[in-house]
A and B are shown apart, each in its own frame.
With several copies, the nearest count.
Chain A
């Protein structure tokens, strides 16, 4: 099978490759497998860079949750918008933000996707309608509702996809946004990345009603759950929901049950999770799940996998190398972008 240059393009662009026939199915699955691998390996390098002191601040990994990023982004078109959290490396990469720009951002370089001003938690790429990268839990939700409101008022058939965690659902801003979205019929796709913990707080100690899809449904919006470890299930659920949103059926809520294999952030000693629980979930590693399936159904073999790993490694080597070349922004420019400079100046 061919590596397919396509796989390094924005996930968004791939959504238009219609999945028809076995070859196409295999290529599509391979693209998703490759993207999940790419995210996994990208974040493993982030760990190294962090340990080496090249990346600082808060860094939140999505290792174990790659099926959410990759599956959901299959359903999004380039004209759609994405709003997410500080745990967004995977979403940014799946959306097509170049790995180099994300590495550079975390290294604090001017070539970073936020010019080094945002860091790991605040990745932005407006050219891809990737609107961050929000550090205040649930803070991105009302903003996403506003992006959707603008499309609604202008009659544009676009989807705004807002991703957030299970913890965010407890914040008042979730409630206000869910009500506004349902009340105003906004083209908003709410995706709850339920990894069962908000930092050290387990789902059952965050929420009286732990069926989050049921909670969302109570606002009068369509809401359902999918297996967040199975990228095919995520893709199917996301495509179905996104299509409905695009067709004007109003906001939809997806609860994707997943699990983070690593600690909450680099600072977190992870004392609150039972190691056996973590191990159990690792048995459902989204990459292994898809790979195993493809071995059975798509005739994928070790060689193919190694090839994928090699391509991903090559891309990331080059991206990191490039990122390291990026310049640091001169401190003279500290005050740039606080306000937009008046016309004619800069």
Chain B
């Protein structure tokens, strides 16, 4: 289905389908593009995102790989250097550590280390996050680590529209881009706005305008944060602005700082572990750039510092939740 047709259809689509549609569009529109990863083909992707693509584009361009994360991510880097436009799916961020050397020391570094000669137009997609009782080794939120790496762009589509329209500009980027898809979003469903088009990868998005406090978040935490904003309005007469970072590197300081300058208060919501997470960078930047505008210390609502446990009540307690966001916002305004 082309973007044009997407614009005209009104049936709801899921986040999963939106991402699949973005890949189909890319595969159909540019022969340099191919998808590679574990079980992206015959299995249809561990989360069903690439279902049907191997039938449509064949096993060369929708390529199942062995369990060799460092090997096939590195191969994606080489193919990108050679002029192709690989989309490498690392099934989940939990397994990406095995490929981190390739991502940091090659993908992010070769352009600079070669004095501008070697470009790596590579897109890496991975599922991230907790919340489905998958336990410690399958519940990581490590976006903050990737956002620490110079040379890489990091995206966290949190809406249907971003899932559908971030891939094209990511593929157009001459340098490496990593896309984090929160596992809890795949079944998110809705109708794509008819006028939707390629996303500006340099800007965060205000998902709910407000005047009393800025709630800054991204990815899988956007829903909880919007819910918290509604509760703050309904139950506490607090008008919260919700900022979706969207692009985790480079951060859109203008939007974030601009919001805080208006509201004078901020809460950062991040599923990652608190210490040394992305939340720390956002908090540090706010106090660096808006120190004299702040009426209260920046609050952080983050994942508890524990390997995510399996048991439902423990896992829920380990993750940011609406009541915690509401409480933090009330501390900030109170």
Residues of A within 8 A of B (CB): 56-58, 81, 83, 105, 108-109, 112-119, 121-122, 124-126, 131-139, 141-151, 153, 167-168, 170-173, 176-177, 179-180, 183, 198-201, 205-207, 267-268, 271-272, 328-329, 331, 334-340
The CA-CA distance from A205 to B65 in the complex, in Å, is 8
Residue B119 at the chain A interface, CB threshold 8 Å: yes
Q: Given A116-B310, A139-B105, A338-B305, does the pair A146, B68 have CB atoms closer than 8 Å?
A: no
Q: A116-B311, A205-B64 are in contact. Are A122 and B135 (CB under 8 A)?
A: yes
| 272-317 of chain B: CB within 8 A of chain A | 304-307, 309-314, 317
Closest 8 CB pairs of A and B: A146-B78, A142-B74, A200-B43, A115-B115, A176-B71, A119-B310, A150-B82, A108-B311
Give the size of the chain B interface in residues (CB under 8 angstroms): 72
Complex CA distance for A57 and B183, rounded to whole angstroms: 12
Q: Contacts of A153 on B, CB cut-off 8 Å?
A: 34, 60, 79, 84
B334 within 8 A of A: no
Whether B310 and A171, one on each chain, are in contact in the complex, defined by CB atoms closer than 8 angstroms, is: no
Supposing A57-B310, A143-B106, A179-B68 touch, asked if A150 and B83 sit within 8 A by C-beta, the answer is yes
| Alpha-carbon gap, A148 to B132, bound state (A) | 35
Which residue of A has the minimal Cβ distance to B176? A339
Q: Are A145 and B75 in contact (CB under 8 A)?
A: yes
Given known A-B contacts A136-B101, A153-B84, A142 and B304 have beta carbons under 8 A apart? no
Least CB separation from A158: chain B residue = B82
Residues of chain B with a CB closer than 8 A to A142's CB: 70-75, 77-78, 102
B66 with A180: CB separation less than 8 A = yes
Contact partners of B314 in chain A: CB under 8 A: 108, 116-117, 329, 331, 334
- Can you pick out 14 interface pairs between chain A and chain B where the beta carbons lie within 8 Å of each other? A117-B113, A122-B310, A132-B110, A135-B136, A143-B74, A146-B76, A146-B86, A150-B83, A153-B79, A171-B98, A173-B71, A177-B71, A183-B66, A206-B66
Check if A180 sits within 8 Å of B111, measured CB to CB. no
Contact indicator B175/A339 (Cβ below 8 Å):
yes
B42 beta carbon closer than 8 Å to chain A:
yes
Give Cα distance in the complex from A135 to B135, angstroms: 9
Say how far B8's CB is from chain A's closest CB, in angstroms: 31
CB of B71 within 8 A of CB of A121, answer no
Say yes or no for B189: interface residue by CB 8 A criterion.
no
The answer to whether the Cβ of B46 comes within 8 Å of any Cβ in the partner chain is yes
CB < 8 Å: which of A56, A122, A135, A338 contacts B114?
A122
- Which of A118, A137, A141, A271 touches B67 (beta carbons < 8 Å)? A137
Q: Which residues of the other chain, A, contact B117 by a CB distance below 8 angstroms?
A: 114, 124-126
Between B60, B98, B307, B310, the greatest number of chain A beta carbons within 10 A of the residue's beta carbon is seen for: B310
CB distance from B297 to the nearest CB of A (A): 23
Find the A residue at minimum CB distance from B70. A173
- Check B318 for interface membership: any CB of A closer than 8 A: yes
Contact mask for chain B residues 143-161; partner A; CB cutoff 8 A; 1 contact, 0 none: 0000000110100000000
User: Which of A150, A176, A267 is the one whose CB lies under 8 Å from B70?
Assistant: A176
How many whole Å from B36's CB to the nearest CB in chain A?
Answer: 9
Please measure, in the bound complex, the distance between the C-alpha atom of A334 and the C-alpha atom of B43, giving whole angstroms: 36
B110 touches A335 (CB 8 A): no
Contacts A81-B82, A151-B82 aside, 20 further interface pairs with beta carbons under 8 A come to A57-B135, A58-B138, A116-B314, A122-B310, A124-B115, A134-B106, A136-B106, A138-B67, A139-B102, A139-B105, A143-B81, A143-B102, A145-B71, A146-B80, A146-B82, A170-B66, A172-B68, A177-B74, A267-B46, A329-B311
Quote the shortest CB–CB distance from A88 to chain B (angstroms).
Answer: 13
Minimal Cβ-Cβ distance residue in A for B72: A180
Nearest Cβ on chain A to B151's Cβ, whole angstroms = 5
8 Å CB contacts to A: which residues of B97-124?
Answer: 98, 101-102, 105-106, 110-119
Whether, in the assembled complex, B49 has its beta carbon less than 8 Å from a beta carbon of chain A, the answer is no
Give B193 Cβ to nearest chain A Cβ, in Å: 27
List of A residues within 8 angstroms of B113 by Cβ: 114, 117-118, 122, 124, 132-133
B150 touches A338 (CB 8 A): yes
Judge whether A180 and B68 touch: CB under 8 Å: yes
Residue of A nearest to B122 (CB): A146
CB B83 to nearest CB in A, in angstroms, measures: 7
